[in-house]
């Protein structure tokens, strides 16, 4: 199982660094179609929303765009809440 990191999701949207942007887009595209499942940990989703809200306050992103991006990511990957059982898999 794979898990997405917040930075990958941010670089996928941020065009400030074209190299990282392209790599993040390609990675997310590969993970969406991979045989191995990829999850989105709840904490990563929260961190993503916090960063996107920061961009919104700076005028770099509109509220509708923020909502669309979060919805797209949530549809592409299941959001997983941590449970105490996670520690059993260490």
**pLDDT tens sequence across 16-38:** 899 999 999 999 999 988 888 88
* Banded model confidence at residue 39, pLDDT cuts 50, 70, 90: confident
Angle of CA points 90, 81, 65, to nearest 5°: 125
The pLDDT assigned to 1 comes to 81
Domain 2-89 has CATH 1.20.910.10: no
pTM: 0.79
Measured CA to CA, the distance from residue 48 to residue 66 in angstroms comes to 10
The pLDDT assigned to 89 comes to 63
Chain-centre distance for alpha carbon 10: 7
Chain-centre distance for alpha carbon 24: 10
């Amino acid at each position: 199982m794979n898990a997405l990191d917040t930075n990958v999701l941010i670089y996928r949207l941020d065009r400030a660094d074209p190299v990282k942007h392209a790599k993040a887009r390609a990675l997310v595209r590969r993970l969406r179609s991979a045989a191995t499942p990829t999850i989105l940990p709840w904490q990563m989703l929260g961190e993503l929303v916090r960063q996107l809200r920061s961009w919104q306050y700076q005028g770099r992103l509109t509220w509708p765009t923020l909502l669309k991006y979060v919805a797209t990511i949530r549809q592409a990957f299941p959001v997983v809440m941590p449970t105490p059982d996670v520690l059993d898999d260490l």
